[in-house]
Structure 1
């Protein structure tokens, strides 16, 4: 590989991503290089320097991530700053903390921290360059085999792929490690050597140091043929993805649908799902999880999820957890929820604020139930005009003097209330457990909805209903409790 060929690789990789017809005087998406200072990224930094002189209207930036995992990390920072100056390229040093939890890979946590650092510099349309090469692709493919992954994992890394609102480009993916090292030697490029690369307790290093050299000794072209296999898997996966994207919408239910839970995000309809083949069940539910932008469970976890969703009784409390997420089911619909969305609310503060509004001690209180926020505040109920109220929503009457006002989260299902529902007029109170079902409130949200009591009487569930016996009369002050499904 020559310097001209390296520049051509960069041009072929990134120039097609720039819109046609943009003049050199206009701001262009920038190129951001993940710059470790190792031989691979050093070669790519050299090429990016040539590219920046050829295309001065395209901004370029090097980002070096200081993980703090090596005693030499500060020396590497100085090396990268010096080399960036030599290449006449701007550089940003990002310091991150890598904390490995139980059953977590240090490699994976460091990678996650790196990409979070890169994200801070990527605007929509920008291009993130990484120096992954053909031997890295072979390592990735072998790791995918070790983990028992399917076509998506065996597709390994793509030379071009979308990355959030930006692009991720790997210009050297068809170039071998030997070619890169030969180029660095010819150009006398100074680079760092990370001592952790010799630690074969890391899976990638084990493959790189012990396994791949033996494979290449037996089959010199294995990196090339493995890359071909990865490309074929990627083609097959694209066909699968296209078909899943075509079929998936009929299984999704959006929050705006009348049958959906207004407190949740997109759900997955289970009616008829059991009639599909196991393969399509897995593909579609993975597609749903990807649509919701959550980390995917393992194959065994996915099988457990599908088994419980399809085989558990209708009234069973389905809750399958993996990582930071879990699946729940209600009324024939599955929902993926983050653990943080199910954490107990800071109820003491919210109880105090709502009660303070009722007693006239502050102007408003705000909170959240699932995906929806609410605000309660004191207002005046509109006057009647020609027998019709001009108000579009009812207000809760303020408590009379000396009545004890209580705000609770959760109450016995046997407590009764007489809600004022626009669609239903009742003459008798109904039990709370029946009202939860009528309002399609799933069990996991019932402890998050503030309930207002005057004395021992449940007078309102914020965002859902007001007891019709406690409605503010026209012209009177009351508490605004906007409906969650309004």
Structure 2
């Protein structure tokens, strides 16, 4: 996106309005062409000098373009004793600008070894997201000195080109856009503008607390850098832009190569149980740099938070060095990487959590006592559990020969019916999909492999037993010997429900 170069000592209201128009109007026009609903502008409005100057400019923009809806959002964190006073200030100024304002109150709960800055930022953006529709434009008041701070923090963390690219003037955000129209304007220019045009603003006392990394840079380091090199904010922004360009080239090349490395999603009876995996067969033929780039691209493709560089190296080392049958499980944060059939899969800890067997038994009791008695008339009071995630099994009359969706034959009156999650791999069964040449039952562990069920899902598939005999795996198969014959009532098993 092209922006006006603002290198003079001061900026005017006309220049500010022009900068906003250059940043906003192309995205707005793109939005009204592709969306039924016209995009709106949402300003992250703190009441500090940066966001006040941006709100001042947005007011002029709204007067010139009254057909474009605008909204100011002020987030009340409750972290300062002055927070309520800031709310009053923002409401008063919004009325002055003739712009609607929304006050959002959030709770910021910092856990051990967590950054209060990061938690507050996350809470703010979650509040903004509640007001963003697809195609909307979120405006923030980040400026050139913020860019220098971001670049220095990226160096401190040892980040690569992506981190050193710092903040982009415009980027996609969720299904919306995030725009930083003041990124070419310095902090002194913003402060001079506020003084020239009488823009009232608040002063957050926490900005003087140098225990926060950004404040330390802002108060102690950057002034000394500017004293030695007055144009460092401008030149650092140029370096960040070059890093961002290089990263874009890398991202484009990864996007071109990545499809070759992705597996198709795995499904059970039409239900997708795993998203795309990452092939490992030829990965060790690539350089370590490309291994890391492609696997990081896979994680981004799966929309998960990225591990650190050291964690990524550990993941790749374990995946590539492990034997084919090794049970690889590498965890970071809320995610795990597992290996199956020479491919890697990223999963959430929630998806891997064991199922609640007690809940299962409570949910699925006494189905046979009612419906089966009505269907058969000869079934006694078996101990039964056959309802999966509150979806009752349906009974049907088997018609003709065995169909593509066979029914499970009803048990004899003396048979105890139970459902289990997990069973010994040596238990045998003879699924209806077995070939005619295969006349003997196969071990369960072989059937899991034949159905391409990864080990972490095998404990989540309900197995039906008649006494000690495995007669069906819900969502996968029915034992040939227990399929209802033509004209006989049977049980239509429910489909699996993805967790």
TM-score relative to the length of structure 2: 0.90
Gaps of 5+ in 1: 368-373
2:4 corresponds to 1:4: no
CA separation of 1:142 and 1:71: change in aligned 2, threshold 3 A: same
Aligned to 2:330: 320
Q: After superposing the two structures, state which structure 1 stretch, 393-402 or 321-330, moved more.
A: 393-402
Which of 142, 148, 152 is 2:158 aligned to? 148
Aligned to 1:124: 134
Instruction: Decide whether the 8 Å contact of 1:216 with 1:222 is kept in 2.
Output: yes
Aligned to 1:109: 119
Aligned to 1:285: 295
2:97 corresponds to 1:87: yes
Aligned to 1:195: 205
Shift of 1:401: 2.0
Instruction: Decide whether the 8 Å contact of 2:398 with 2:490 is kept in 1.
Output: no
Deviation per residue, 1:430-461 (Å, 9 max, x gap): 22222211211111111111111111111111
Aligned to 2:61: 51
2:199 corresponds to 1:183: no
2:282 corresponds to 1:272: yes
CA separation of 1:108 and 1:120: change in aligned 2, threshold 3 A: same
CA separation of 1:89 and 1:425: change in aligned 2, threshold 3 A: farther
CA separation of 1:41 and 1:469: change in aligned 2, threshold 3 A: same
| C-alpha separation in 1, matches of 2:162 and 2:477 | 48
SS at match of 1:337: strand
SS at match of 2:393: strand
Shift of 1:262: 4.7
Gaps of 5+ in 2: 1-10, 373-384
2:135 corresponds to 1:135: no
Instruction: Decide whether the 8 Å contact of 1:377 with 1:479 is kept in 2.
Output: yes
Which of 27, 37, 45 is 1:17 aligned to? 27
Shift of 1:184: 0.8
Aligned to 1:473: 485
Which of 236, 252, 261 is 1:251 aligned to? 261
Q: After superposing the two structures, state which structure 1 stretch, 234-243 or 97-106, moved more.
A: 97-106
Aligned to 2:443: 431
- RMSD value, Cα: 2.3
2:173 corresponds to 1:157: no
Aligned to 1:398: 410
Instruction: Decide whether the 8 Å contact of 1:358 with 1:479 is kept in 2.
Output: no
2:429 corresponds to 1:417: yes
Instruction: Decide whether the 8 Å contact of 1:254 with 1:267 is kept in 2.
Output: yes
| C-alpha separation in 1, matches of 2:175 and 2:32 | 20
Shift of 1:210: 0.5
| C-alpha separation in 1, matches of 2:110 and 2:264 | 36
Aligned to 2:460: 448
CA separation of 1:50 and 1:365: change in aligned 2, threshold 3 A: farther
SS at match of 1:407: strand
Which of 369, 389, 394 is 1:378 aligned to? 394
SS at match of 1:335: strand
Instruction: Decide whether the 8 Å contact of 1:261 with 1:440 is kept in 2.
Output: no
| C-alpha separation in 2, matches of 1:439 and 1:483 | 16
Deviation per residue, 1:80-113 (Å, 9 max, x gap): 1111111111111111111122322111111111
| C-alpha separation in 1, matches of 2:453 and 2:361 | 20
SS at match of 1:226: helix
How many positions carry a matched residue from both structures? 472
TM-score relative to the length of structure 1: 0.92
Aligned to 1:213: 223
